[in-house]
Amino acid sequence: MKTERLAEILAAYGGDPLRWPEAERLAAQGLAARDPRAAAMVAEAEALDALFDLAPVDAPSAGLTARVLARRPRPTLWRELFPNTAFWKPAAGFAMALALGVGLQSAAADQLGLDLTDDVAVSDQAVDDQTTLTPLSGGQALSEEDVL
């Protein structure tokens, strides 16, 4: 690196190597280390930096954080119910439980030698036999035949 470029870097970024362009930092530091004139230029830039650093920094007021956070996005219902899980996990759990339930019912029926369709037929017949219509308020219950 030439002294002219180091002077440009110091004029723009000051004397702290951390603020220098990353791609030129090592070369600039090397030049400052071996050239007393370059080192003096760095020291001068550092003195100006020190002056800049005297400018005050205000901490945010106590209420500002609360005011900012009060308007943050609110979680979805899923997020409220399952704060530490991804969206799909509860849905996948429910689906697996459902599949397991259906599978177990089917396996149990096989083991007992039952035909579930017979159950449905019997059940339908029982419903036919007992079908009555219940009035909304009081009165006698009417059978389907009474209505027809």
Partner 1 sequence: MVEDPDAGLVALTGQGDAEAASRLVARHLPRMTALARRMLGDSAEAEDVAQDVFLKVWTQAKRWKPGAAKFETWLHRVAINACYDRLRKKKGVPLDETDERADPGPDPEQALGNVQLSQAVDAALQTLPERQRAAITLCHYQGLGNIEAAAALEISVEALESLLSRGRRALKEKLRHLSGAGASGSRTAQA
Judged by the rule CB under 8 A, the positions of this chain that interact with partner 1 are 8, 11-14, 18-19, 21-22, 47-61, 64-65, 67-69, 71-76, 79, 83
State the Cα–Cα distance between residues 109 and 33, nearest whole angstrom. Answer: 87
Region for 14 from its dihedrals, namely left if φ exceeds 0, alpha if ψ lies in -120 to 50, beta otherwise: left
* Residue number, 62 or 148, with CB nearest to partner 1: 62
Q: How far is the CB of 56 from partner 1 (least distance, A)?
A: 5
* Residue number, 7 or 96, with CB nearest to partner 1: 7
Q: How far is the CB of 24 from partner 1 (least distance, A)?
A: 10
Query: Which residue blocks in 22-87 are alpha helix, DSSP H?
Result: 22-34, 36-52, 62-69, 77-81
The 10 Å Cβ neighbour count of residue 134 is 9
41: which 2 tokens? 């230029």
* Residue number, 65 or 131, with CB nearest to partner 1: 65
Q: How far is the CB of 52 from partner 1 (least distance, A)?
A: 6
* Residue number, 52 or 118, with CB nearest to partner 1: 52
State the Cα–Cα distance between residues 28 and 38, nearest whole angstrom. Answer: 9
